[in-house]
Amino acid sequence: MSNNVITLIARILLSFMFIFAGFGKLTDPASTAGMIAGAGLPASTALTYLAGLFELATGLAVLVGFQVRIVGWLLAVFCVFTGVVFHLSPVNVPDFPAAANGWINALNFVNFMKNVTLAGAYIMLATNGAGAYSLDARRGAYATA
């Protein structure tokens, strides 16, 4: 299998999370707005919609291979930021048993590690470009690193 086919498959897989997460935030913002408010950030509903638009737009850009070098860096920064702000600190849900809070914290740390790992994948995408099967290639903007 050629590197361009593998890059296309990788782009498809890397796009799904942000397309679906962005769509979810735009259609049902309540849980994300609560998480943002819980982190102490202001204007949680507005930030939820901004995050949803960002995730949907960047996910679609990765999927079709448009401006992937720029979008890859943006998503890498986004993954590290959201990992640190929302998944690194301990969670304590009032009235939950200690074991349940421990389980939630373990899952939260897994999400932190997922974000850091995805940042690495997006840096690799930003560095290597979208590949031959992309809008970048059709526009003449594709070049290997």
The answer for residues whose C-beta is within 8 angstroms of residue 84's C-beta and 6 or more apart is: 112
Per-residue pLDDT of the chain (145 residues; tens, 9 = 90+): 899 999 999 999 999 999 999 999 999 999 999 989 988 899 999 999 999 999 999 999 999 999 999 999 999 999 999 999 998 888 777 788 887 778 888 898 999 999 999 999 999 999 999 999 999 999 886 655 4
Instruction: Answer for the pair 44, 51: CB distance below 8 angstroms, yes or no.
Output: no
Predicted pLDDT of residue 142: 61
Q: Which residue has the tokens 């849900």?
A: 93
- Entry pTM: 0.89
Instruction: Answer for the pair 82, 52: CB distance below 8 angstroms, yes or no.
Output: no
Read off the tokens for 134. 């992309």
Read off the tokens for 34. 């609560």
